[in-house]
Amino acid sequence: MLVFLIILLIIILIIAFKTIKVVKQAEVYVIERLGKFHKIADAGLTIIIPFFDHVRSIVSLKQQTMDIPPQGVITKDNVTITIDTVVFYKVTDPAKAVYEIQSLKKGIEYLAITTIRDIVGKMDLDETFSSRDMINNKLRTILDEATDQWGCKVDRVEIKDITPPADIRDAMEKQMNAERNKRALILNAEGERQSAITIAEGQKEAAILQAEADQEAKIRRAAGEAEAIKKVAEAKAKEIELVYKAIQNANPDDKLIQLKSLEALKEVANGDANKVFIPFEATSALGSLGAIKEIMTDETKKK
């Protein structure tokens, strides 16, 4: 009796284990009944009929990554390069992912390899390095369309590395060094040209400013000299006017005027000039002085 109860308990536990299923978060169970698809069990507690139902597959709904093995690809200009790619995908229809293809991961991998070879085979080597985003977008679009019938969505494709052959890398490095040296020489020449232009413009500006300063100095000097001459002339005019008024007030006779003229001639003769011009009016005064001198001389002899 005890053995029967133990056997019955074991059978009940086995049935319970087969009947009650706990599905984890972000996973689903694909359940078949009598070998035919029955339902998709979401996260949580699920009851199935033992010996009739069984779990065909556990499918993860999380974002998954697939590292595509490095592939040798021949470019349009016949250069063999190695491309390393990673694919990000997510299962959207677990039933299709299980029943529409034997192995979803293998299908995505083979499809990615053939697509990469097709895309890169139409491009030159230099274009493959400069068009990574374009290659990624094309690859993602083609893979997404092809895997839609498998209940899968390709969210992103990234090319991790593009490796050309060793000789091509050496040639590219030499080309890059030559290009950098060329750019350096161009920049250096441009800098020297700009420096020469700046120096010339500075010298030009300095020469213009110096010429303007000299011109301004000459103008100011000439203005000062003109002002000085004007003031001297005004002083002389005032002096002449004062002398003229003094003479008018003194009411001099002709002999006094002649005497003053002679004194003025004496002052003129004592100057630095080599030639002296005597006014015509002063000649009569000189003649009178000569006659007076002869009379004085005769009287002296008589005595």
pLDDT tens figures, 16-45:
777 888 888 889 999 998 889 899 998 888
Q: For position 262, what pLDDT does the model report? A: 57
Q: How confident is the model at residue 267 (pLDDT cuts 50, 70, 90)?
A: low
Residue 256: its pLDDT value, please? 58
What pLDDT, on the 0 to 100 scale, is given for residue 30?
A: 92
- Is pLDDT at 285 greater than 90 in this prediction? no
Q: Taking residues 221-232, what's their average pLDDT?
A: 81
Q: What is the pLDDT of residue 287?
A: 52
Average pLDDT over all residues of the chain: 80
Helices (runs of H) and strands (runs of E) counted in the chain = 8, 8
pLDDT of 91 over the 90 cut: yes
pLDDT in tens, 41-74: 988 888 888 888 888 899 999 999 999 888 888 8
pLDDT-derived band of residue 296, with 50, 70 and 90 as boundaries? very low
What is the reported pLDDT for 272? 53
Residue 277 pLDDT: 46
- Residues 269-276: what's their mean pLDDT? 50
Q: Which carries the bigger pLDDT value, residue 215 or residue 240?
A: 215
Contact 131, 76 (CB under 8 A): no
CA distance 97 to 40: 12
Residues 6+ apart with CB under 8 A from 70: 82, 83, 84, 161, 163
Range ranked top by mean pLDDT from 120-129, 234-243, 268-277: 120-129
Q: By the 8 A CB rule, do 91 and 154 touch?
A: no
- Tens-digit pLDDT profile for residues 174-186: 777 888 888 888 8
* Dist CA 124 CA 114 (whole Å): 18
